[in-house]
């Protein structure tokens, strides 16, 4: 695909909207608070790994994340209320403003990624959950395990156990139990949706908030930034043969960084992001969108992304 037809990537541009009262820049999303109490989130083309924003944007990544998140949030809204209401632009989502719960509910169906790195080091307990002996990388757990992490404002998120959450009084026990129950139900739905696309949902994370005192699902759901997928076809054969699994996730970016000597630690330098590498990541995100959702990705016709967003939001505000 030629880079000349790509719209301008969203990286560090600062957008302003009518009725905006507050602004917060996250690693990937820019969050605009509106006077009517809602949030307007702009999914940028920034990409982060090891809790660090990489120095170059990935064209079309924001649109992929925003549209996939909207698709997935709508698909689970019967399980738990979701913050999302509307997507007036390919990169924009509007919805309810919740009081965030500073805890990521990470759920893992397989011994992969962080869980495998922990297991390989000889540890058998992750976030207070015991992992069985005799497992190989990517083996499925007997049942999915929840391995929560504290949600850091800055820096690295930290693993935490259920016992620590309750003993430290981070959440009322009844609320944590509800979050754990909803997490399992969401993951089951995600696994079912993945299987329909010939995929395995390996692990993911959910973020929750409170809206009018009730639990609400926030942020993105089942996207390549928050989830990991394997191809279902050939999975068992690859496991039996001890071969690597084909992953659909952001893990390939982390692996590229690790190979270049970068894991987010002080003094480490991010490898050069060549134009070819950036393009390959963009192409993989678009491919991920189509494989995970079963939908066709539609590239924007406008070249100026900021102008397009401002125009679409102005039209949306006028209609609403």
Token duo for residue 209: 């908030």
* pLDDT at residue number 258: 93
Q: For residue 5, what pLDDT band results from cuts at 50, 70 and 90?
A: low
pTM, two decimals, is 0.89
How many helices (H) does the chain have, and how many strands (E)? 8, 17
* pLDDT at residue number 155: 57
**Could you read off the pLDDT of 160-189 as tens digits, one per residue?**
999 999 999 999 999 999 999 999 999 999
Helices (H), the chain: 61-76, 114-120, 162-167, 173-196, 235-241, 251-259, 275-293, 305-319
User: Cα separation of 10 and 186, whole Å?
Assistant: 30
* pLDDT at residue number 247: 82
Average pLDDT over residues 141-168: 89
Q: For residue 152, what pLDDT band results from cuts at 50, 70 and 90?
A: low
Residue 1 has pLDDT above 90, yes or no: no
* pLDDT at residue number 38: 95
What percentage of the chain reaches a pLDDT higher than 90?
Answer: 87
Residue 154 has pLDDT above 80, yes or no: no
Residue 107 has pLDDT above 70, yes or no: yes
* pLDDT at residue number 318: 85
**Could you read off the pLDDT of 47-97 as tens digits, one per residue?**
999 889 999 999 999 999 999 999 999 999 999 999 999 999 999 999 999
User: What domains lie within the chain, and their CATH numbers?
Assistant: 3-98+288-319 (3.30.200.20), 99-248 (3.30.470.20)
On whether the CB atoms of residues 46 and 57 are closer than 8 A, the answer is yes
On whether the CB atoms of residues 185 and 192 are closer than 8 A, the answer is no
* pLDDT at residue number 201: 97
Residue 271 has pLDDT above 50, yes or no: yes
Residue 240 has pLDDT above 60, yes or no: yes
Average pLDDT over residues 114-132: 97
Nearest to 154 by CA among 102, 211, 83: 102
**Could you read off the pLDDT of 195-237 as tens digits, one per residue?**
999 999 999 999 999 999 999 999 899 988 889 999 999 999 9
* pLDDT at residue number 53: 94
Residue 285 has pLDDT above 70, yes or no: yes
User: Cα separation of 250 and 308, whole Å?
Assistant: 27
User: Cα separation of 80 and 190, whole Å?
Assistant: 14
Q: Give the chain's mean pLDDT.
A: 93
Q: For residue 151, what pLDDT band results from cuts at 50, 70 and 90?
A: confident
**Could you read off the pLDDT of 23-41 as tens digits, one per residue?**
999 999 999 999 999 999 9
* pLDDT at residue number 2: 42
Coil, strand or helix at 312: helix
């Amino acid at each position: 695909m030629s880079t000349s037809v790509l719209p301008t990537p969203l990286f560090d541009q600062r957008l302003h909207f009518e009725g905006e009262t507050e602004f917060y820049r996250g690693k990937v999303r820019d969050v605009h608070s509106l006077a009517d109490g809602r949030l307007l989130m702009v999914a940028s083309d920034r990409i982060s790994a090891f809790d660090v924003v990489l120095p170059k944007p990935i064209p079309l990544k924001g649109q992929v994340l925003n549209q996939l998140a909207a698709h997935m949030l709508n698909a689970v809204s019967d399980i738990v209320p979701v913050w999302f209401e509307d997507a007036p632009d390919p990169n924009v989502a509007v919805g309810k403003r919740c009081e965030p719960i500073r805890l990521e509910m990470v759920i893992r169906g397989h011994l992969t990624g962080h869980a495998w790195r922990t297991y390989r080091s000889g540890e058998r307990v992750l976030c207070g959950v015991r992992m069985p002996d005799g497992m190989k990388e990517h083996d499925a757990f007997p049942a999915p395990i929840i391995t929560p992490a504290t949600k850091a404002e800055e820096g690295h998120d930290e693993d935490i156990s259920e016992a620590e959450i309750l003993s430290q009084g981070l959440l009322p026990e009844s609320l944590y139990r509800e979050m754990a129950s909803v997490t399992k139900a969401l993951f089951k739905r995600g696994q079912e949706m993945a299987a329909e696309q010939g995929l395995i949902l390996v692990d993911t994370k959910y973020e929750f908030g409170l809206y009018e005192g009730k639990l609400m699902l926030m942020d993105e759901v089942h996207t390549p930034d928050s989830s990991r997928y394997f191809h279902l076809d050939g999975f068992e054969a690859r496991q039996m043969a001890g071969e690597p699994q084909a992953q659909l996730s952001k893990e390939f970016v982390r692996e590229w960084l690790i190979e270049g000597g970068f894991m987010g630690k002080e003094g480490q330098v991010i490898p050069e992001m060549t134009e070819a590498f950036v393009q390959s990541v963009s192409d993989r995100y678009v491919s991920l969108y189509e494989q995970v959702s079963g939908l066709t990705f539609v590239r924007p016709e406008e070249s100026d992304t900021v102008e397009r967003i401002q125009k679409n939001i102005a039209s949306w505000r006028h209609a609403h």
